[in-house]
């Protein structure tokens, strides 16, 4: 090539470059964000030092994708002057912009950039926190994640300590609970003196904090609060003792459990949480016999799961008319473990006291001995006869279920009617609402709850009077009395919720084809009926559970009452499709369904759970992490490990727990870093995942 030709070529190239650059500069002013972002990217590739000003301006663009490209360009410049701007962009509203800013600060890599990264770790979400750790690692910070986790823990501790000392009363309450969650011995030493604070709310918060701390040194001080007269303090003390599970609190808990106060149910729950021992069993048996109804049922059912209770004290009370109700409550709660008491209960089926009669029927149901069927049938017939007068129909013909002439709001309007215009508007409104509801149901492929039309204008028998009959209807099915289905089935059409619920539960207890007859109870608009029917289906074994899941998948609206009874049931693989559907829909039931899938050990649930967990907006992250841990498929390990960087402590703890069965893989450094996390539960979960035993709290008394 001649010199002249070379010069002409060079001039042509410079002219082309100049023209292209002018277009990029023009695109920076474009109204389209995509063009602005592309212009920033192309200009960055040209490495013009003067373009730093343009990138600085673009970093403040209202559109996130433009800001993200500008940050990339600023980081590539490695100019120390952009550190403050990049540090501000770590607080951007967009998650992608934050992560780009962290990466760009790593490219600059000076001390100021590292300071920004350290400062922002505790204030950002999961993805940005992970990006910050990666950025610090790239700048050769030793133990990068441990450093930021320790710095965050220090900041949280100092903030809570400062707030506890100088904050407003509501702020001090929150700080006391947060200090306890740290589980630090110093937190216990600071919270114990607050138990005697004059502000009851602060003292109660300190109690809850001590429960969260998991340090048994505080048990004695907390137990003393059970003698206080303030309900908030007593309830907080019971909640803390549930977590601490220390047997030395048993005497005080027993006093509260027996006093029939609002704190009594919590005290019983605290006794149930204690390690099994003869003393704890004796206390629960005492509550089952002497406590209020709710506490007696809880204590008795717990002892049913253990070895039962001595029958002699219960039978002694059964002989005394004034204490029969307490004895019957205890027997019903103890169930089959108190089977030998049945001969003493059966005579009470015909007593004149309706309360005793009802409790006797319930006890017979729970004792579950079919030999009592003849006596139950006899009692049922007597009850029906006694209520015959109150339950006689006022109107023998069935009540109309359609509007009469002139009353149907959706009927055509007479144009000669003076109020025709208003009626036409009403008709049109009703029609539109009906069409919208029908379209919504068609789209969702769901079934709505069914409203039961009234069978009577007036019913002389009140719900209170029908309770004994309802219990007997339930007993007919539970004990499988001869011809029970024919006797029970008509009650499913009753307008009384208690009778309908009893009928559906009885039919579910009969099993077989009767389950199909009882299935409408799962769609009953009365929530108590729906819940009782669902409970009966859940305990009816695989056939009942299958129908329950089938209805649950079709139901429109709140499905929690159908799902809740299945939580503790032993489900088969047949439940997997419905549970997966709930997880995919992401409604309020998704978390419960996820954990149930984990318990079933359904390998086909791994991929859907991973997909749901990949959604950053998933509300049931903790439950999905638990489920993936239960499933134990190692391919979920890396996805689960991302939540070790979560800004929510309960999610970090769940991720660490899930890695115990999944294996640590290459995430040991992250788990080691969480050993210095602020929150005790996170530290303990991380240590378990690392194969280490969590440190036990000291057993000595705390400093005053």
* Range with lowest mean pLDDT among 29-43, 144-158, 526-540: 29-43
Q: Which CATH class is domain 27-141?
A: mainly alpha
User: Residues 149-174: what's their mean pLDDT?
Assistant: 95
pLDDT score at 21: 79
Query: Considering only CA atoms, which of 452, 493, 491 is closest in space to residue 474?
Result: 491
Collect all residues with Cβ–Cβ distance below 8 Å to 390 and sequence separation of at least 6.
459, 460, 461, 465
What distance in Å separates the CA atoms of residue 128 and residue 99, rounded to the nearest whole number? 5
Q: How confident is the model at residue 702 (pLDDT cuts 50, 70, 90)?
A: very low
Confidence of residue 165 (pLDDT cuts 50, 70, 90): very high
Q: How far apart are CA 384 and CA 38, in angstroms?
A: 83
Q: Beta-carbon neighbour count of residue 593 at 10 Å?
A: 31
Residue 427: per-residue pLDDT:
66
Distance CA 208, CA 426 (A): 56
What is the CATH T-level fold of the domain 571-698, as seen in this structure?
1.25.10
Contact 140, 113 (CB under 8 A): no
Q: CB of 98 within 8 A of CB of 90?
A: yes
Cβ neighbours of residue 181 closer than 8 Å, sequence gap 6 or more: 209, 212, 213, 649, 678, 679, 680, 681
Quick one: pLDDT at residue 40? 86
Nearest to 186 by CA among 223, 146, 213, 153: 213
Q: Give the Cα separation of 488 and 478 in Å (integer).
A: 11
| pLDDT confidence band for 46 (50 / 70 / 90) | confident
DSSP string for residues in 240-292: HHHHH--GGGHHHHHHHHTTTSTTHHHHHHHHHHSPP-HHHHHHHHHHHHHS-
Residue 441: which residues within 8 A CB-CB, separation 6 or more? Answer: 447, 448, 556
pLDDT in the model for residue 54: 86
Mean pLDDT computed over 689-695: 87
Q: What are phi and psi of 447, to 5 degrees?
A: -110, 130
pLDDT tens digit sequence for 512-569: 999 999 999 999 989 999 999 999 999 999 999 999 998 988 887 778 888 999 988 8
Are 491 and 502 in contact by the 8 Å Cβ rule? The answer is: yes
Least confident of 18-32, 142-156, 301-315, 434-448: 434-448
Which stretch of 1-5, 54-58, 70-74, 96-100 has the lowest confidence by average pLDDT? 1-5
User: How many Cβ atoms from other residues are within 10 Å of residue 456's Cβ?
Assistant: 16
Q: Count of residues for the chain?
A: 704
Mean pLDDT of 366-371: 94
Q: pLDDT per residue over 50-90, tens digit each?
A: 788 888 888 888 999 999 998 988 988 888 999 999 999 99
Return the pLDDT at 282. Answer: 95
| Distance (Å, whole) CA 257 – CA 303 | 15
**Euclidean distance between CA atoms 400 and 395, whole angstroms:** 11
Q: In this predicted structure, which of 31-40, 156-165, 695-704 has the lowest mean pLDDT?
A: 695-704
The C-alpha atoms of residue 637 and residue 626 are separated, in whole angstroms, by 12
Looking up tokens 């549970």 gives 579
Lowest mean pLDDT among 20-34, 247-261, 319-333, 602-616: 20-34
pTM: 0.82
Query: Which residues is 447 bridged to in the sheet?
Result: 555
Q: What tokens does 662 get?
A: 């999944």
Which residue, 127, 122, 114, is CA-closest to 153? 122
Q: Which two tokens stand for residue 634?
A: 């190692």
- For the chain, residues classed under CATH 1.25.10.10 are 27-141, 571-698
Q: Give CA–CA dist 120/674, Å, rounded.
A: 17
**Exposed, middle or buried, 323 (CB in 10 Å: 0-12/13-18/19+)?**
middle
- Residue 677 CA to chain centroid, in angstroms? 24
Specify whether the CB–CB gap between 253 and 298 falls below 8 A: no
Question: pLDDT digit string (tens) for 400-452?
Answer: 666 666 666 656 666 666 666 666 676 677 677 777 766 665 665 556 666 66
The answer to which of 273-277, 302-306, 439-443, 607-611 has the lowest mean pLDDT is 439-443
Q: How far is CA 273 from CA 238, 253, 269, in A?
A: 11, 12, 6
Contact 547, 516 (CB under 8 A): yes
How high does pLDDT run on average in the chain? 87
The DSSP line for 93-109 is SSHHHHHHHHHHHHHH-
The pLDDT score that the predictor gives to residue 13 is 36
Per-residue confidence (pLDDT) for residue 310, from 0 to 100: 94
C-alpha distances in angstroms, 450 versus 439, 524, 555? 18, 5, 11
Output the six-digit token pair for 652.
């970090």
Tokens of 332: 């019903």
Distance CA 293, CA 490 (A): 31
Write the DSSP string, 45-84: HHT-GGGHHHHHHHTT-SSHHHHHHHHHHHHHHT-GGGHH
CA 561 to chain centre: 14
Nearest to 528 by CA among 484, 507, 497: 497
- Calpha distance 212→223 (Å, rounded): 15
User: What is the C-alpha separation between 221 and 207, in angstroms, rounded?
Assistant: 9
pLDDT of residue 704: 39
427 neighbors 409 (Cβ within 8 angstroms): yes
Specify the range with the lowest mean pLDDT, choosing from 257-271, 355-369, 377-391, 689-703: 689-703
Closest CA to 534 of 495, 580, 589, 584: 589
pLDDT value of residue 170: 94
pLDDT in tens, 627-678: 999 999 999 999 999 999 999 999 999 999 999 999 999 999 999 999 999 9
pLDDT at 465: 86
What would the pLDDT profile of 559-601 be if each residue is shown by its tens digit? 888 899 998 888 888 899 999 998 988 878 889 999 999 999 9
pLDDT score at 17: 42
Query: What does the pLDDT average to over 130-144?
Result: 92
């Amino acid at each position: 090539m001649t010199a002249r030709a070379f010069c002409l070529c060079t001039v042509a190239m410079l002219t082309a470059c100049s023209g292209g650059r002018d277009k990029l500069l023009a695109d920076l002013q474009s109204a389209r964000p995509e063009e602005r972002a592309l212009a920033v990217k192309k200009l960055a590739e040209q490495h013009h030092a003067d373009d730093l000003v343009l990138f600085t301006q673009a970093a403040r663009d209202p559109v996130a994708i433009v800001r993200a490209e500008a940050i990339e360009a600023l980081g590539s410049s490695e100019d120390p002057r952009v550190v403050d701007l990049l540090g501000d962009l770590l607080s951007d509203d967009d998650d992608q912009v934050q992560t780009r800013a962290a990466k760009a600060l790593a490219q600059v890599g000076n001390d100021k950039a590292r300071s920004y990264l350290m400062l922002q770790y505790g204030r950002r979400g999961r993805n940005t926190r992970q990006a910050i750790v990666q950025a610090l690692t790239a700048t050769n910070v030793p133990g990068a994640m441990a450093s930021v986790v320790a710095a965050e823990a220090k900041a949280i501790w100092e903030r809570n300590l400062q707030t506890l000392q100088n904050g407003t009363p509501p702020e001090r309450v929150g700080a006391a609970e947060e200090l306890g969650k740290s589980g630090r011995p110093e937190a216990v030493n600071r919270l114990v003196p607050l138990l005697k604070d004059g502000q009851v709310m602060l003292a109660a918060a300190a109690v809850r904090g001590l429960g969260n701390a998991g340090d048994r040194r505080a048990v004695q001080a907390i137990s003393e609060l059970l003698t206080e007269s303030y309900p908030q303090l007593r309830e907080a003390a019971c909640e803390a003792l549930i977590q601490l599970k220390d047997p030395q609190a048993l005497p005080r808990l027993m006093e509260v459990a027996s006093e029939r106060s609002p704190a009594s149910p919590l005290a019983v729950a605290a006794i149930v949480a204690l390690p099994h021992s003869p003393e704890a069993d004796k206390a629960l048996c005492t509550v089952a016999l002497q406590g209020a109804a709710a506490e007696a049922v809880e204590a008795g059912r717990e002892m049913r799961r253990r070895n039962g209770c001595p029958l002699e004290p219960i039978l002694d009370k059964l002989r005394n008319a004034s204490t029969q109700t307490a004895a019957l409550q205890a027997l019903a709660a103890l169930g089959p473990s108190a089977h030998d008491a049945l001969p003493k209960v059966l005579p009470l089926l015909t007593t004149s006291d309706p309360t005793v009669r009802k409790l006797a029927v319930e006890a017979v149901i729970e004792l579950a001995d079919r030999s009592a069927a003849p006596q139950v049938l006899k009692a049922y017939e007597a009850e029906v006869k006694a209520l015959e007068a109150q339950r006689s129909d006022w109107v023998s013909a069935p009540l109309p279920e359609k509007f009469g002439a002139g009353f149907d709001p959706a009927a055509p309007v007479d144009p000669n009617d003076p109020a025709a215009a208003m009626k036409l508007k009403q008709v049109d409104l009703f029609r539109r609402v009906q069409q919208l509801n029908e379209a919504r149901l068609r789209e969702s492929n769901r079934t709505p709850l069914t409203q039961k039309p009234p069978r009577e204008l007036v019913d002389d028998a009140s719900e209170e009077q029908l309770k004994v009959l309802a219990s007997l209807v339930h007993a007919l099915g539970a004990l499988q009395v001869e011809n029970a289905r024919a006797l029970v089935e008509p009650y499913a059409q009753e307008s009384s919720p208690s009778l309908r619920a009893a009928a559906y539960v009885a039919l579910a207890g009969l099993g077989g084809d009767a389950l199909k007859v009882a299935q409408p109870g799962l769609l009953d608009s009365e929530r108590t009926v729906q819940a009782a029917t669902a409970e009966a289906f859940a305990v009816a074994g695989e056939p009942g559970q299958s129908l329950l899941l089938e209805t649950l998948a079709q139901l429109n609206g709140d499905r929690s009452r159908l799902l809740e009874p299945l939580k503790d049931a032993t489900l088969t693989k047949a439940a997997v499709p419905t549970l997966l559907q709930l997880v995919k829909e992401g409604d309020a039931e998704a978390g419960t369904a996820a954990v149930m899938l984990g318990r079933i050990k359904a390998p086909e649930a791994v991929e859907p759970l991973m997909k749901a967990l990949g959604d950053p907006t998933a509300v049931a992250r903790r439950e999905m992490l638990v489920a993936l841990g239960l499933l134990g498929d190692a391919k979920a390990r890396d996805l689960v490990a991302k939540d070790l960087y979560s800004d929510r402590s309960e999610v970090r703890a769940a991720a660490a727990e899930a890695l115990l069965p999944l294996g640590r893989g290459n995430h040991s450094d992250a788990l080691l870093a969480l050993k210095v996390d602020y929150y005790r539960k996170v530290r303990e979960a991380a240590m378990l995942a690392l194969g280490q035993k969590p440190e036990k709290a000291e057993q000595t008394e705390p400093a005053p």
